[in-house]
Structure 1
């Protein structure tokens, strides 16, 4: 199963969806999650973060207005506060994120997803 956390208004997200569904997913089911319509829970975010590895802020869109307005760049902000912010403001989640076989990558650029199929 391939899961794509997708924002249809984002060109990179659309390109990644197309790449996965046409080039890589011939024999695999693909679930597309429009996370702005169905925000992830804290537990789902923690699982996704573990699959991605790296700092939590890497899976966040730090250039969004909400990131600045909520003061999330402060060093004193905890991971729990960041998870909570993403659940309440799903626009903060980096996009797209593709999950396959217990691994995940951010599809920026879309070609990053090739690592999941190597």
Structure 2
């Protein structure tokens, strides 16, 4: 990956995803924005992101969506391979936002986790949409 390339698997309807994208842009970098509900990752990309983020397959899943309940995915008999297949079939099951940079991969929940994998500093003070301050007036990280 080129050193300046950042990818965000984004859902514009999600506040956490919007805050994460804004934090990336606040570092002066413009990421590749992948609206994963319309353009899901490949099986290999999804497996690699989950592995590189240090999460289990189950930790990378959204549980508060209808398809998760309907398919009873909380049941322990589901294998990681089956869960990956379902995440690809129903991208809403992929938790978000995943961010990929040259410094690593994170599921950015909460959104400020993206700061751990950005190579450029924040350029301006930053507050989340709900008003929570993340970067103060002295450009110091609060959270």
After TM superposition, the score normalised by the length of structure 2 is 0.75
Q: How does 1:1-118 map to 2 (within 5 A)?
A: 1-23=5-27, 26=28, 28-101=29-102, 103-117=104-118
> Could you say what secondary structure the match of 1:104 adopts?
strand
**2:133 maps to which residue?**
none
In 1, the alpha carbon distance for the partners of 2:112 and 2:103 equals 19
- The answer to whether the 8 Å contact 2:99/2:105 transfers is yes
- The answer to whether the 8 Å contact 1:61/1:93 transfers is yes
In 2, the alpha carbon distance for the partners of 1:8 and 1:72 equals 25
5+ residue gaps, structure 2? 120-143
Q: Greater relative contact order (Cα 8 A, min sep 6): structure 1 or 2?
A: 1
- The answer to whether the 8 Å contact 2:24/2:118 transfers is no
In the TM superposition, structure 1's runs of 4+ consecutive aligned residues that sit over 4 Å from their partners are none
In 1, the alpha carbon distance for the partners of 2:23 and 2:49 equals 21
- Report the aligned-residue RMSD: 1.4
Q: CA deviation at 1:102?
A: 5.4
Larger radius of gyration: 2
**2:123 maps to which residue?**
none
Residues 49-106 of structure 1: per-residue CA shift (max 9 Å, x gap)? 1111121111110111111111211111001110011011001111111111151111
> Could you say what secondary structure the match of 1:33 adopts?
strand
> Could you say what secondary structure the match of 1:17 adopts?
helix
Higher helix share: 1
